[in-house]
Amino acid sequence: MEIADWRNKIDALDEQIVRLINQRAEAAQAIGTLKHSAGLPVYEPKREEAVFERVRKANAGPLSDTEVVDIYQRIIDVMRALQKKD
């Protein structure tokens, strides 16, 4: 494949990633609403560590586990901020 072909593939993957991140955000908003109603804290360190462990196990590379967790830390930060908006 040529560079243009790879870039087209990346563009298509980016569209899929954005759709999935937005689906994750919808789920996080729903959880935030439930947490707010139940008086539960938004920040749950044990849950976050479980997510990090799950994505490490799912990681087949070429990203390192550390890099995958770094990405997920940012995703979770954004999702947590979204939950706090409720």
Is 78 in contact with 21 (CB distance < 8 Å)?
A: no
* Short-list 26, 23, 25, 29, CA closest to 42: 29
What pTM was computed for the model?
0.90
User: How is domain 3-84 classified at the CATH fold level?
Assistant: Chorismate Mutase Domain, subunit A (1.20.59)
Instruction: Indicate whether 86 pLDDT > 90.
Output: no
Rounded Cα–Cα distance for residues 41 and 25 (Å) = 17
Buried residues in 45-74 as b, exposed as e (16+ CB within 10 A):
eeebeebbeeeeeeeeeeeeeeebbeebee
What pLDDT does 85 receive?
84
